[in-house]
Amino acid sequence: MRWEIYVTGQMDSCDRYGLCGAYGICNINDSPPCGCLRGLESRFPEEWRRADWDNRCVRKVELDCAAGGDGFVKQSGVKVPDTRVKLV
């Protein structure tokens, strides 16, 4: 016999993996909870207003890797997905 996980307990809506789509960030203190990381915006704002956050966030301006251009931005106070266990 093998155990299969079919439901898990969540602490809040932001515990749902991928809720805010690619490059999105979830904040339980915001309404709606999903937003885009700094420098990005929703690809389809009308869908986001309807709480459909599956479509990714995209850059507001083209990436500029030249000297003095874009770089990494430190995010603090962020909970990352728990990837220790691979669910089959």
Which has the higher per-residue pLDDT, 39 or 68?
39
The pLDDT assigned to 17 comes to: 81
Sequence ranges of the domains in the chain: 13-59
pLDDT of residue 49 exceeding 70: yes
The predicted-structure confidence for 3-47, as pLDDT tens digits, reads as follows: 776 666 667 788 888 888 888 888 888 888 888 988 899 888 888
Vertex 51: Cα angle to 14 and 29 (nearest 5) = 40
Which residues touch 27 (CB under 8 Å, ≥6 apart)? 14, 33, 35
